[in-house]
Structure 1
């Protein structure tokens, strides 16, 4: 790997798995750089987060761009690189001539914000959601005895019961449901102050009791960034049954997985991301949805009559509506899987066995099947885990603490960090299992989770923020300086005293500071303040595609 060694270090556990899986394979050269096809000089993680929209999305809830504080884009790039190596090995084993794969940290960042990009590129009042400032306060909540906690429910009735139990008024409960339900797609959650106030009058034990009674999940926010448990990012268990050899393929132009079929029964973000990645690598993906279609289809804004958030993860998949709760629906799933190589789901724990659609059940219909479950907590939280969604995993697993500087309250990002990374790790596990299948004919079960994927993100003890780490406000926006720049170098380039620099940058425009930096041989990166700017920026033309919405192009080049 070249160009961005941080990416390799960041996903070292995944890279180690890949090296093990590729043992004995001819070398595939994998190259990772910072900018890729984006025509901008991006020298480090901070510059990528600034230019490619991560700071904009992460900072929406506070009303201003904010750095994530962890090398998230580099981790995603490391996983993409590992996926590319596995996909190239699969293609070679099926007869293709592939010896090189390339990706970049910038493309990884664009993939991470793809659902927000889709909305930004749509002509709609919903294109850039309003920040919390002046419109309410986002979670977490703080109880009367000082416990900061996150709340999660996917349905309106438990939400209503919980808040009524705590004594909130119906008007506040009703106003809060929409922002709360949509925060996964908007990265904002302005809740009525009354909801925070009623929690602030209630002790944590009483909040927990109300949650248990009403059917919502509540977790205290972990202050320590170190995960409470260490689990493998992906567990692959070989299965005994062997299937037919994978169909041969020719040139890699159609993608390394050309001719392979994936059946997915997923919802929200994590599961659809896994299928989306496999589709971008050339697989045919058949999406099983309930009668009437996935409810996500109707969430505005829409393009072509369908939610652009839904489309950003599911365009290009073939949809089949099936009632999996019925005997006929379960037979239909078996029939679909019989002609497929992969089945992916992100159902709740125990649902697959309850439906008769678990690993052994489907393997009888499809010998050699790769069966993948993308869960929330995996086995890390015990036999009765809390609801396994992005923000609860960030809060309870320590990632939220890694994002929050010392001296500031710990809070998860409202950008779907673990959902995206969890889907990518699931796809990585599928690729590793497919390589095993192409070699041996035998299938495998793949288990991944949001929690295990989040464990890939390197974390350090919480520290006071470096005043020169961006974003730094300017007269008309924000910028970031090269990571690790020392105060002496910065003052020589931009003038003033070291302690005055953050204030000094407000005196001139971003463009002027970019000019000053270039004259001193320093790369100063403007912070994207509106994702709509990316959709019209010529520098991103080779990395983004456009149909009825804007979307990142596949982040690999195979040759």
Structure 2
């Protein structure tokens, strides 16, 4: 059987005369979301749709190879810059298309910050107690500190961060050494913005030898049909990787804590679940397990007996603490592919700082955005590594946001100087209602983005 990866097109299923990167960023919502921080549509500082589409194309080609090894009769696969762009804005699109009256005001503003001696930097914590310690240590009053926490946390969801001017003024009046001391004392992660982009290779590491995959009668003609993925992930990077594996045909079983992932209930709500959560997790099956208990760990190991992939993005040390390391899973299921999607990988040692999108952007020198560009690209890179591992019969895959950021930088040398030939999207709800996008979208309680690939039998 001959196979072919179609040349990556620009528009794909989107019925617009898109000429290239700039048109795609304009028409498919990237400029709109990226520009929220500045108050108007703005082009990203790299050809993000092109780089993301290239990664999706490589992933699709590996998936096609895996399909043939499993006896699934697929002959080709295609993707496009427009499909990549829509995947990148999928959470924002879902949030903009619900009937929920709760919508965050998209007020311009946000980091990176600048010290008195001219150093640009990002700060990060997921713990409100750390936030409450950091700012008073620099002389900011408790009321200002408290009312700034919510917009800081919501920046992942809204792509903007309108902090009270008192905060940026305080940092702008202090030398970076004083601010770094305050960060250490409070537990705040502080990362200086790199002077130049860093490149890290490879973006993922595939190791070990597992079992091969025998031909299977496909449930549906997709490369991962019949395979089971166990996913224990939070936020964006890991869940997006699992989402892509599901779109490639796998059954994905999410492991969530008792009561469910708290992000399920973050407004706006679509149906009975957070719209943003649905953008990454619709179609997955769910089981609630307390992994911090021996009973919970044993339950997961029992599920692993029938699984092909185990994917997690736990903090460093958690796998060992819970006795759920690669060797532990391998005892339950010899040959299982154990995948870890981390923030920093091994680059910053065994106890790295908090590794989220924006601090990784800063450290790696990725052109700054409050759009989750590294999280999304990291999820695609992680899925790419997992499918590559399956195709090779491997048992371990490690990827990180930092290595994904390095891969973004490696692709950022491209330059797009074509003039803009289409209108700029300034309303995601209008984009969702535009019939020219209908073949790329799924209309439910909110609008979701369809698969970024089209496979041919």
User: Same-fold call, TM > 0.5?
Assistant: yes
Q: Report the counterpart of residue 179 of structure 1 in structure 2.
A: 151
Which fold has the larger relative contact order, with Cα–Cα distance below 8 Å and residues 6 or more apart in sequence? 2
* Residues in 1 aligned to 2:102 and 2:361: alpha-carbon distance in whole angstroms: 26
Q: CA deviation at 1:37?
A: 0.6
Point out where structure 2 has 5 or more consecutive residues left out of the alignment: none
SS of 2:79 mapped into structure 1: strand
Matched, 1:160 2:132: yes
Alpha-carbon shift at residue 145 of structure 1 (Å): 2.5
CA contact (8 A) 1:303 1:549 kept: yes
Partners of 2:332 and 2:212 in 1: how far apart?
13
- What pairs with 1:366-515 in structure 2 (closer than 5 Å)? 366-400=333-367, 412-437=368-393, 443-458=394-409, 483-484=417-418
Residue 19 of structure 2 corresponds to 43
Structure 1, unmatched stretches of 5+, are 1-24, 401-411, 438-442, 463-468, 470-481, 486-522
Does the CA-based 8 Å contact 1:119-1:126 persist in structure 2? no
Q: 1:298 to 1:247 in 2, by over 3 A?
A: farther
Cα drift, residue 208 of structure 1:
1.4
Partners of 2:66 and 2:411 in 1: how far apart? Answer: 36
- Determine if contact 1:101/1:557 at 8 Å carries over to the other structure: yes
1:146 aligns to 2:118 (yes or no)? yes
Aligned residue pairs total 456
Aligned position for 1:541: 438
Inter-partner Cα distance in structure 2 for 1:39 and 1:108: 15
Look up the SS of the partner of 1:196 in the other structure.
Answer: helix
User: CA offset at residue 74 of structure 1?
Assistant: 0.8
C-alpha separation in 1, matches of 2:214 and 2:59: 19
In the TM superposition, what whole-angstrom CA distance separates every residue of 1:164-216 from its partner, at most 9, and x where no partner exists? 21121111111110011111111010001111122223222221122122111
Matched, 1:89 2:62: no
Whether the 8 Å contact between 1:304 and 1:548 is mirrored in structure 2 is yes
> Which of 304, 307, 323 does residue 290 from structure 2 map onto?
323
Question: Once the two structures are superposed, what CA deviation does each residue of 1:123-147 show, in whole Å capped at 9, x if it has no partner?
Answer: 2445474222xxxx41122223222
**Alpha-carbon RMSD:** 2.1
Say whether the 8 Å CA contact 2:218–2:225 is kept in structure 1: no
Report the Cα offset of residue 325 of structure 1: 0.7
Structure 1: distance between partners of 2:46 and 2:102: 29
Equivalent residues of 1:36, 1:104 under 8 A apart: yes
> SS of the counterpart of 1:101?
strand
Structure 1 position 352, deviation (Å): 1.2
* Distance in structure 1 (CA, Å) of the matches to 2:411 and 2:96: 33
Residue deviations 1:487-520 (CA, integer Å, cap 9, x gap):
xxxxxxxxxxxxxxxxxxxxxxxxxxxxxxxxxx
SS in 2 for 1:198: helix
Q: Distance in 1 between matches of 2:145 and 2:453?
A: 45
Counterpart selection for 2:268 from 301, 307, 312: 301
CA shift digits 1:259-303 (9 cap, x unpaired): 100001100000100000001111110101111111111110001
**Pair 195,107 (structure 1): closer, same or farther in 2 beyond 3 Å:** same
